[in-house]
Each structure stands twice: as structure tokens, then as C-alpha cells.
Amino acid sequence: MSAKIIDGKAIAEKLRQQIAVDVAAFRERTGIVPHLVAVLVGDDPASAVYVRNKHSACEKNGLRSTLHKLPATTSQEELLAVVRQLNDDRDVHGILVQLPLPKHIRADVILDAVNPRKDVDCFHPINVGLLSQGRPWFLPCTPHGVQQLLIETGVPVAGAHVVVIGRSDIVGKPLALMLMQKGPGANATVTVCHSQTRNLVEIARSADILVAAIGQAEFVTPEMVKPGAVVIDVGINRVAGKLVGDVAFAGVSEIASAITPVPGGVGPMTITMLLKNTLTAAELATEGRRMKAEG
């Protein structure tokens, strides 16, 4: 294997230590502990694991975390009422509604109801708009985690051709927006690919940095990777009880210069950025920190 393995677990741990220091300093200044509330509707086992991991990361790093668990039979109106109550609760700084929601509930209606200043997932249209204008309150967790991995690994992003495969609102689209902005860890030339893209192999092969956010196990094969490219694998797929990414790791790691593993790559970074956003939400709420969008 020739590629350097980008150790997301170690990088996430380093960043979490800094966040814990910042949380302690905030607490010292204000007497307030940043508080994240996760809302989980139903019994999806994967969601339960994600929420549990987020909870324990909060606790380990000095943030408060509460789980609001609701039955799968909860109506859209009942869930909206919960979100509104959390919006009004001054003790709650960050609100996270774990997706997916049961089919009878419209996720867009619920996510639009979250107070944008408490929207630690950065899903609200106001936050997406601010992000696209380059003056965000929050950065979306997984794309921010990817960007931090690149920065911490010393990968030159400015001027690089980044190809993102996947255009979801959670990963591909916001990541493309972030990497094309002016600023550190950005200034890239970004191409976004999706299921209708022609010549996907050729486009992927032209990437200096290739990001796979597709949701199909081992989709990215060695012929899609330029020798020496950096490959970031966002995918999490369960195959025969094992977690695998969207990249065929064994073959691609022979060609790439650096690559993230699954697990232990992007995953731990996502939760780390959620911790950061919860601290930011608490700062916005309690210190009246001037938001860039208002300045």
C-alpha cells in the first residue's frame, strides 16, 4: 500500500481536546454549560447508535446532552410542538432532530421549524443561505469534518480540482459550497457529480481531491482515481455485518497519495464538528456574539 492513511480518529480526538478547552473557558466566563438536545423518533437501530455516540462525545468533552425520545407513532404536529418547546427553552442551545424520520412525518417541515440559531446540523434554509453566501453561523458537520481532515493533513486545497461524487443536502452540496468559497481550506475548483453525470470515470480521474459521498459500497474503483490523488470516503455501508465505505479501499490505496479509512475516517469528525456547533450555539445565545451575517 502506498497511500498515507488519514487517521480521522486521531485528528478528531485532537480537535475534541481543543473544543473541551474552549467549552471549559466558556463555562468559566458565563457559568453556562452548552446544552445539546437530540430528538429521536422511533426505533431505527442505526439512529439509536448515532445518537448514543453523540451523547457520549458531549459528556466526555464537558457539554450537556439530553435525549428526547419519542415513539414511532408520534404525529408531525406532536413533533413540531416538541421542536417549538425546545426553541423557546433558554436552557437548550443546540437542537438536533435525528434523521431519518418516520415516513408519515415531513422532514423539511420539521427542520424548517428549528430555530436557526439552535440549528447545529446547519439544515435550516437560513443557515444554508448564509453558508452559500460565505457568511455562516454554523458549518454543516460532515462537510466541515471533511474540510478539517484536509487542513489537518496539510493537503493543499486552494487551486486544487476537487471532485465530489454525490449532491445530497447533507454532504455533497454543502461540501461543494464550502470548498469553493474564499478562505482557508477552500478556494478549490469544484466539480459535483451525481447519478446523471456522463463520463463519471473521466471526471473522477481528473480530481486532485476525490470525495465519495454516494452510499454505495466500494463504488470508487482504482481506474477512477488519478495516481497521487487524495481520496476522502464519506460513505458508510453495512455489508455482511461489516462497515465499508464508498471507495474500494484495497485497490485505491495503491494509487492514491492519501486516503481515509472506513471506519475511522470522516465518521469521528462529524461528531466533533457537532460539538463545535453546540458551543457556537451557546455562544450565540448567551454572549450575544455578533453574527457575521449581522455585521
Q: Which residues are catalytic?
A: 54, 98, 121
Grid cell in block for residue 110:
420539521
Task: Say which amino acid occupies 43.
Answer: D
CB 40 within 8 A of CB 278: no
In angstroms, rounded to a whole number, what is the distance separating the alpha carbons of residues 19 and 269? 12
The contact set with ligand NDP (CB under 6 A) reads 142, 165-168, 170-172, 193-197, 200, 213-216, 234-237, 266-267, 270
CB 272 within 8 A of CB 145: yes
Could you tell me the smallest distance in angstroms from the CB atom of residue 284 to ligand NDP? 24
Closest CA to 111 of 64, 79, 65: 79
Q: Nearer Cβ to ligand NDP, position 12 or 255?
A: 12
In angstroms, rounded to a whole number, what is the distance separating the alpha carbons of residues 161 and 170? 21
Could you tell me the smallest distance in angstroms from the CB atom of residue 168 to ligand NDP? 3
Q: Nearer Cβ to ligand NDP, position 102 or 166?
A: 166
254 Cβ contact partners less than 8 Å away, ≥ 6 residues apart: 1, 2, 3, 222
Strands 4-5 and 35-41: unpaired
Q: Nearer Cβ to ligand NDP, position 34 or 172?
A: 172
Could you tell me the smallest distance in angstroms from the CB atom of residue 69 to ligand NDP? 21
Could you tell me the smallest distance in angstroms from the CB atom of residue 193 to ligand NDP? 6
